[in-house]
Amino acid sequence: MTVNLAGKKIEKYGSELFFILEAGTNYYEYASNFGAGLEEAAKKFIDYAEETKADAIKFQAYKVETLVSKELEKEQYRYIRMHDALDYEDYLELVKYTHDKEIEFMITLFDEEGVEVLGDKLNIFKIASPDIIYKNLIKRIDKFGKPIILSTGFANDDEIRNAIGWIRHSPVVLLHCIPKYPVKHKSEMNLQRIRKLNIEFPNNVVGLSDHTIGLDPDTFTRNEPEDIFMLAASFGANVFEKHFKLGGSSANDGSHSINYNEATNVVREVRNSWKSYFPEEQKDKSKQLDVTDFLIKARRGIYAGRDYKAGETIKEVKFLRPARGITADRIDEVIGKVLNKDVKNGEPLSYKLWSKK
Peptide bond into 182 cis (omega under 30): yes
**pLDDT score of 219:** 57
CA end-to-end span of the chain: 50
58: β partners? 22, 106
Residue 2's H or E segment, with its range, is strand 2-5
How do the domains of the chain map onto residue ranges?
Answer: 2-281, 285-353
Residue 244's H or E segment, with its range, is strand 237-244
- What is the spatial distance between Cα 1 and Cα 293, in angstroms, rounded to a whole number? 36
What is the arithmetic mean of pLDDT over 322-346?
93
Burial class (CB within 10 angstroms; exposed 0-12, middle 13-18, buried 19+) of 196: middle
Residues 6 or more apart whose Cβ sits within 8 Å of residue 32: none
Identify the CATH assignment for 2-281 out of 3.40.50.11890, 3.20.20.70, 2.30.40.10, 3.40.47.10.
Answer: 3.20.20.70
Please determine, for residue 340, whether its predicted confidence score (pLDDT) is greater than 80. yes
Residue 199's H or E segment, with its range, is helix 192-200
Q: Residue 248: pLDDT band by 50, 70, 90 thresholds?
A: low
The closest of 66, 235, 208 to 151, measured between CA atoms, is 208
- What is the spatial distance between Cα 260 and Cα 266, in angstroms, rounded to a whole number? 10
Q: Are 209 and 8 in contact (CB under 8 A)?
A: no
What is the arithmetic mean of pLDDT over 232-237?
94
Architecture in CATH of 285-353: Alpha-Beta Complex (3.90)
What is the arithmetic mean of pLDDT over 121-143?
95
Tens digits of residue pLDDT in 162-214:
999 999 999 999 999 987 667 766 777 888 999 999 999 999 999 999 887 76
The pTM of the full predicted model, rounded to 2 decimals, is: 0.78
Residues 6 or more apart whose Cβ sits within 8 Å of residue 90: 38, 39
**pLDDT score of 254:** 56
Please determine, for residue 220, whether its predicted confidence score (pLDDT) is greater than 80. no
Tens digits of residue pLDDT in 270-286:
999 998 888 665 555 55
Looking at residue 15, the DSSP 8-state letter turns out to be: S
Residue 6: count other Cβ atoms within 10 Å of its Cβ.
Answer: 15
Please determine, for residue 243, whether its predicted confidence score (pLDDT) is greater than 70. yes
> What does the mean pLDDT of the chain come to?
89
Phi and psi of 92, rounded to 5°? -60, -40
Please determine, for residue 288, whether its predicted confidence score (pLDDT) is greater than 60. no
